[in-house]
Structures are given as C-alpha cells and as structure tokens.
Amino acid sequence: MDYLQQLNEVQQQAVTCIDGPVLVIAGPGSGKTRVLTFRIAHLIESGVPPHQILALTFTNKAAREMKERIGAVVGDKARTLWAGTFHSIFARILRVEAEHIGYPSNFSIYDTTDTRSLLTRIIKQMNLDKNNYAVNAVRSRISSAKSNLITPKLYAQDQELLSIDKLQQRPALYKIYNRYVSQCKQAGAMDFDDLLYRMFELLQKNPENVLDKYRSRFKYLLVDEFQDTNFLQYAILKKLVKYEGSPQNICVVGDDAQSIYAFRGATIDNILNFQEEFPGLNTFKLEQNYRSTQSIVEAANQVIRQNSRQIQKKIWTDKADTSRIKLIKTLSDNEEGKRVADLIVEYKNRFHVPNHEIAVLYRTNAQSRVFEEYLRRYNISYKVFGGLSFYQRKEIKDLLAYFRVAVNPRDEEALLRIINYPKRGIGNSTVEVYTSYASEHGISIWESLLTNPANTRAKKSISMFIKMISDFGRKIKDLNAHEAAAMIAHRSGIADLIRKDNSIEGIARQENLTALLDGIKEFVDNDEVEAGDVIEDKSLATYLQNIALVTDMDESADNNDFVTLMSVHSSKGLEFDAVFLAGMEEKIFPSFQAMEEKDGIDEERRLFYVAITRARKLLTLSFANSRYRYGKVVYHQPSRFLTEISDDLMDSQITPRKPVEAVSRQSRLQGNFKQRQPKTRETISVPQDFVPAAPHEIAAGLKVRHLKFGEGKVLSVDGSNDSKVATIFFQGVHNPQRRIMLKFAKLQILD
C-alpha cells in the first residue's frame, strides 16, 4: 500500500477511514480528487468488491478521470466499479426499472430545448399570455418544484407556492406544471430533473423491492462536489444509505465555499447539516493548497471571508510568490480583448507558458467573442467551451430527432421537429389538427397520426411518413447503430438536403453530419465502458442513451495545445498556470440578476473564489468601462469584488494613454458605426405582353415564363385541384429547379 506514502496526514486519514459516514471538506487545490481516488483504490485493496462501490460526480469528465486514476493504482479490477454522473447512473438504472413506474425502457431524454418548446406549446394551448408566462421562468419554477419533490398534486395544494405565483401574475402555473408532467409521461420522455425525480419515485414506491436490490448492490457510496447536490439528490442518497441496520458507508467530498449551483437547486445546507443527519460522522479538513502561490491563496481567503455562513477553515500554501495579481483596466471590451491577448503573448514569450496552461474565464458565455477575435488574429490556437455544443446544432439535432422517433415514436418533441423536415407537405395547419386531436383524446401525436382522424389533403404525405418511421423502427432492431444511422440519414432525405447546400455554412453542416456518423462508427467499433460494464449492445437506441447526457466539456481534448476559453462555472475542478478573469464589472460579475436575488451576492462571491483558485501562478483580472451588450453600448462600474482584495497583492495596470481615434462623440455614443441600410422590397415590373395561364393549363413539357425567374421548362406537375405544384427548371437561377404552387404563381405559356 505504498500509495499511502503519497498523501499527507489528513489525506491518509480520510482515505483509510473506511467504515461509516465520512465528510471531507476539501479546499481548492487540496488534493480532493487524489483523496477520492485513493480512497476507492484503498477500498478495493481492502477487499471490497469493486461492483459494490458507487461513485457519483457532476461531470462525465470527473468520473472518467477518477476511473483512470483508480485503474492506475489497482489495475484491471477497477473496471466493474460504478462511477458516473448522478444523471447518467440513474438513467442507467431507470432503463432497467422504468416499466415499474410507467415508463418504457427506451424512454427519451428531453434536453432543455425540448422542455422549452413543449412548455411554449402548452402555454399557447392554454391561451395564456406568453409575456406573463415567460418560458424560462416557468421552466425554472417547475424544475425547482421537482428538485424539492413537490409533485403537481402537492403544488396545487401548496398555498404558499400558489400565492407566489399569483403575485407574479402566473396563477395558472400549477396547471402548466401538471400538463407538462403528463405530456412528458405521454411521450415516454424524461427531462433532466426527471432522471433524479423518477429515480426517487422508484425507490419510494419500491416495486418488487428494488430498494433492497440497490441498497445491497451499493455498499459503499462516494459523492464528489457534495456542495452542489440539491434536496432531491440528497434524498436519493439518504434512501440508499439511511435505513435501519445500514452500515452508512457514505463518503461525501466537497467545499461549501465552492457552492455555485444554487440556481439549479443546490443547497449548501446539505453540507452544513450533514453532521446532524449522520451523527457518527468522521470529518476531515484538507486545508493545505498544493496548487497556487501565496498571493493567490491569500486573495482567495480575503474574498471568501466576506461571506457569513461557512465552515471554518484556513487554506494555506507553502508555495512562494512568483508574481503578483495583475489588474487590467480598459476603456472598452474590445480593448480588453486585445490587452488580454497581448499579455498571453507576453507570458508565452517570457515564461514559456504553453497554450494548454492558459485559460480565459468569464461570467457569461457571450463574452468569449472578443477573445476569440484577438487570439485568432494573433494565431494562437484556442478552444471555446460551453455555448452551443455539438449535439445542439440544428443539423445534428434534426438527425438525432429521427433516431429518437425511430426508437420511441411517442417522443413528441422529436416528432414535431421532423414531421415536416425535410418538407413533405405536412404544414402547420395539418400538424395543428393532429396535435389537438391527440390532446383531446389523451393519446400521443404519433397515435393520432395512426388513427388518421382528419381527411386533409396531407393524408398521403402522412401515410408515407408513418410508413417511413415504422420502417425505421423495424430496421434499427437488426442493424448496428452506424448502419442504422446511415440508412436514416439517407432515407429521411436529410443527407441529400444538406448536400445540396453549398454555402459556407452548408459545408460546415455537411462536415458536422459526417462527424456525427463517424462518431457513431467509433461507438460501434470501440469498447465503450459505461459505469463499469462494456457496452455489448451497439444498437441505435443504446447510442442515443449514451450521448443524451454528454456535453462538450466531455470531449477528449488532449494532445492539442490550445488556450481554454470558458465560463467560470465550467472551470470548476480545473487548474492552469495562467488564468485571465475578464469582465470584472458590476452587473456582469456580480451579474445583475444575482444583485436582486436573496443571497445572490454571496453565491457570486463563491463563484469569484472558484475563479481565483483556478490559477497556479499567474492571475490576471480585467475590466472594461464600456462594452457592447445586446447591441448597445453600456457603461459599468468596476466590480465590488475587486475592492475585497488588498492592494498589496495587486499590480494595477492602467490603460496606456489612448491612441486618439477620429471618432466623433456622436457616433461613439451611438456605438455602431455601420448604419444599417433599410432593405427595399424587390419590385418586379410586369411586361406588357404578359398573359398568365390558368393553373389547369400548365403541364409537363411546356415552356413557361415566370415574372421573377424568367423562362423555364415544366418538368412535372403533381397534386390535384387546389394544390397543384409544378416542378420547373429555370435557366441561370440560383436554385434552378423550383417547385411552384400553381394556385399563386403567375406563369405564361410560351410556344
């Protein structure tokens, strides 16, 4: 057990205290991950079968790293260990148990976009004012209800919640909540909160005694970043370890000072009250910081001291100072971008800091743009994390939606996304008919399509659509994920549609689609390991389950040397030699929303604490007097947090005297130099001899003239009566082959 030699005394104690509840308070850079992994390694070395250990994290990356490091200590034995995010581990259990609680095992997972669009539809259906019922507000209200185990039924009886909603002009919120939950269930779909909520429900209802099954399965629980757990996550943990006769082998690791997810329901009370919940608790405090230099640790301590509620601890380091903290003041966000990039160049030259040891952090993802601009200009490679991830891109979501519908046709969000994409003549009004039929009869949209209640002219298109989807559903059972995906990409028409678009964006979309298919191929060919087991089933359904909870933070980013650009939130758990923290301004950091929330400033301050402690040696803070926000110039005061760090720790760099710009005061105030030209409508003059033909006269083979597109040849005519559509080939037009509704188009027949 020579690995114990690599630990300091407290770390050793935390690792070897195997039985009963354990709380590890781990300051930043105090070797938290090391303790967690060595503890698991130690459990295994002490004879605990790895499959009885469950380690829960918040990111896939943390879980993966943990497993790798455990593997390095104990070797192959580590493979059957269950380590993963709360969401992915529970999703996995729910796949097995879903039918006990009224879900299909192939349930879909709704992401935030799906949730938002479902809520938008519900609000519209209920004829509610979308200004009062802002989707995001509604969504977060529902999310927090779920995270506090308040069912729609309980919500409707809770006078306090109801009166808050009334006060906020949203008295019908409980009805929306109720409808949302039943629609999700109808669709066989779980949102992110459901993965926790339904897990709890399962353990609570305890069908076929699943509770015992999982209690005896997981004899040792470990939780990383415990300060970020919410009421619901904690409730599930307690279900698993707090019961009559339980050995209570739960070890939680966290730092109350780094709790930054209150907005998604995390409560610092979980860690503050852990002692009361588990009286036999052994607590260990890791206070030595092995990461940062003196002034960085000192600055962090000065900042966090301003918060009242916290566990007392003294974070210290024996690392000597190499450089003081820098403060850059600039006049504009643009200049901030330039100065940061300049300093990056300087650090690279002077201290030989490699790109991968440099990070630019900011409060909001929208701030990344200026840094991207200058880094690109300076030819420094960088990677932006957060924002729109690969799987959120339109073309990817479109194809994934086909996969989802093939696996689970009740998945309404996916179905609505593709029912008329690519265009197949099932327009809004038709879709409307079927959705309202579905909701009236309490069935899914897919079922209402099958019943085919309406005799619209889209009937034929619908039956073809049904045939296609059913066919996909049958075929994917016999094909592997890659074969299935390629078949669907082709037969759905998506591949063709995108191949036709040769614009720059179009080519990017083609590349993304190829990348998706390549990724699926990789999934099929390689041994993917999920929570301890090699995935044997390489079906499309399994693939979907695998990617539903992946974020771009999880992409393997090794062997590339780039500067990291990310939000402070995503930076938690990471460290860099040089950290730039940009936008240190009031209303940005702290954010203006937080300034109005109860305990908002404290949370922002913890966020600031997280940011500071990412740096090993070089920390640079910056702020701009003015910046563009939502297309307007705004002026901000320097962040209050800057005053919380004492002057002796900071070097202040005032902007060098401004190179005079020949910009009038007027235009500087207006901000935007590019005056937008109002677009004028294209006018078409009608030639004297133009005689439009009646729709029924148009037939294949005729030469025609169109007012806008000029001369063309009719290739075919389809549809009947009212809805005749001609496919016409026009010479020398951007998209020469066009489909034109004869009802509207004015065409002259030429001889």
Partner DNA sequence: GGGGGCTATGGGGGG
Partner DNA sequence: CATAGCCCCC
Question: Binding residue for DNA (CB under 7 A) from 204, 593, 670, 716?
Answer: 593
Which secondary structure element, helix H or strand E, spans residue 749, and what is its range?
Answer: strand 747-750
Choices 96-104, 182-190, 215-223, 673-681 (CB under 7 A): range interacting with DNA? 673-681
* Residues 47, 58: Cα–Cα separation, whole Å: 27
- Residue 576: φ, ψ to 5°: -145, 150
225 a catalytic residue: yes
> Contact at 8 Å (CB) between 736 and 751?
no
113 a catalytic residue: no
Choices 267-275, 361-369, 401-409, 537-545 (CB under 7 A): range interacting with DNA? 361-369
Question: Between 156 and 497, whose beta carbon lies closer to DNA?
Answer: 497
Positions 16 through 75 that interact with DNA (CB under 7 A): 58-59
DSSP assignment string, 418-473: HTTSS--S--HHHHHHHHHHHHHHT--HHHHHHH-----TTHHHHHHHHHHHHHHH
* Residues 300, 294: Cα–Cα separation, whole Å: 10
Taking residues 426 to 465 in sequence order and writing x for each that binds DNA by CB under 7 A, - otherwise, the string is: xxxxx-------------------------xxx-------
Gyration radius of the chain over CA positions: 30
Question: Between 134 and 649, whose beta carbon lies closer to DNA?
Answer: 134
647 a catalytic residue: no
Catalytic residue selected from 57, 183, 258, 564: 258
Positions 246 through 305 that interact with DNA (CB under 7 A): 262-264
Which residues does residue 633 pair with via DSSP β-bridges, in sequence order? 628
Question: Binding residue for DNA (CB under 7 A) from 11, 292, 439, 570?
Answer: 570
Q: How far is residue 200 CA from its own chain's centroid?
A: 23
Question: Binding residue for DNA (CB under 7 A) from 32, 87, 339, 605?
Answer: 87
Question: Between 570 and 625, whose beta carbon lies closer to DNA?
Answer: 570
Instruction: Compute the least distance from the CB of residue 640 to DNA, in Å.
Output: 15
Instruction: Check residue 393 for interaction with DNA (CB under 7 A).
Output: no
258 a catalytic residue: yes
Instruction: Compute the least distance from the CB of residue 594 to DNA, in Å.
Output: 4
Instruction: Compute the least distance from the CB of residue 283 to DNA, in Å.
Output: 27
Judged by CB under 7 A, the number of residues near DNA is 66
Residue 657 contacts by C-beta under 8 Å, 6 or more apart in sequence?
Answer: none
Instruction: Compute the least distance from the CB of residue 434 to DNA, in Å.
Output: 11
Four-residue CA torsion sign, 372, 375, 376, 382: negative
Pairing label, strands 325-332, 529-530: unpaired
661 a catalytic residue: no
Catalytic residue selected from 12, 13, 16, 33: 33
Instruction: Check residue 543 for interaction with DNA (CB under 7 A).
Output: no
Helical H runs in 148-241? 152-157, 159-167, 173-186, 192-205, 210-217, 231-241
Instruction: Check residue 673 for interaction with DNA (CB under 7 A).
Output: no
Choices 20-28, 399-407, 537-545, 742-750 (CB under 7 A): range interacting with DNA? 742-750
Choices 32-40, 467-475, 506-514, 625-633 (CB under 7 A): range interacting with DNA? 625-633
Instruction: Check residue 503 for interaction with DNA (CB under 7 A).
Output: no
Catalytic residue selected from 170, 313, 614, 627: 614
Catalytic residue selected from 97, 193, 225, 255: 225
Choices 10-18, 348-356, 592-600, 653-661 (CB under 7 A): range interacting with DNA? 592-600
Instruction: Check residue 549 for interaction with DNA (CB under 7 A).
Output: yes
Question: Between 153 and 423, whose beta carbon lies closer to DNA?
Answer: 423
Positions 126 through 145 that interact with DNA (CB under 7 A): 131, 134, 136, 140, 143
- Check residue 527 and report its DSSP letter: -
Choices 41-49, 165-173, 310-318, 598-606 (CB under 7 A): range interacting with DNA? 598-606
Amino acid at 224: D
713 a catalytic residue: no
Angle between helices 394-407 and 504-525 in degrees, nearest 10: 40
Positions 161 through 200 that interact with DNA (CB under 7 A): 192-193
Residue 483 contacts by C-beta under 8 Å, 6 or more apart in sequence?
Answer: none
Positions 295 through 354 that interact with DNA (CB under 7 A): none
Choices 211-219, 335-343, 349-357, 623-631 (CB under 7 A): range interacting with DNA? 623-631
- Residue 552: φ, ψ to 5°: -75, -10
* Residues 90, 107: Cα–Cα separation, whole Å: 13
* Residues 631, 275: Cα–Cα separation, whole Å: 50
Instruction: Compute the least distance from the CB of residue 284 to DNA, in Å.
Output: 26
Question: Binding residue for DNA (CB under 7 A) from 33, 364, 436, 512?
Answer: 364
Instruction: Check residue 604 for interaction with DNA (CB under 7 A).
Output: yes
> Contact at 8 Å (CB) between 594 and 552?
no
Q: Quote the longest CA-to-CA distance of the chain.
A: 97
Cα angle value 519/422/406 (rounded, 5°)? 55
Helical H runs in 479-599? 481-491, 494-500, 504-525, 540-547, 568-571
Helical H runs in 504-580? 504-525, 540-547, 568-571
Question: Binding residue for DNA (CB under 7 A) from 206, 322, 365, 452?
Answer: 365
> Contact at 8 Å (CB) between 624 and 636?
yes
* Residues 243, 239: Cα–Cα separation, whole Å: 7
Question: Between 185 and 746, whose beta carbon lies closer to DNA?
Answer: 746
SS (H, E, C) 72-109: HHHHHHHHHCEEEEHHHHHHHHHHHHHHHHCCCCCCEE
> Mind telling me the catalytic residues?
32-33, 224-225, 258, 614
Interaction site with DNA (CB under 7 A): 58-59, 85-88, 112, 120, 131, 134, 136, 140, 143, 192-193, 262-264, 363-366, 386, 420, 423-430, 456-458, 549, 551, 553, 566-567, 569-570, 591, 593-594, 597, 600, 603-604, 628-632, 672, 678-681, 707-708, 723, 741, 744-746
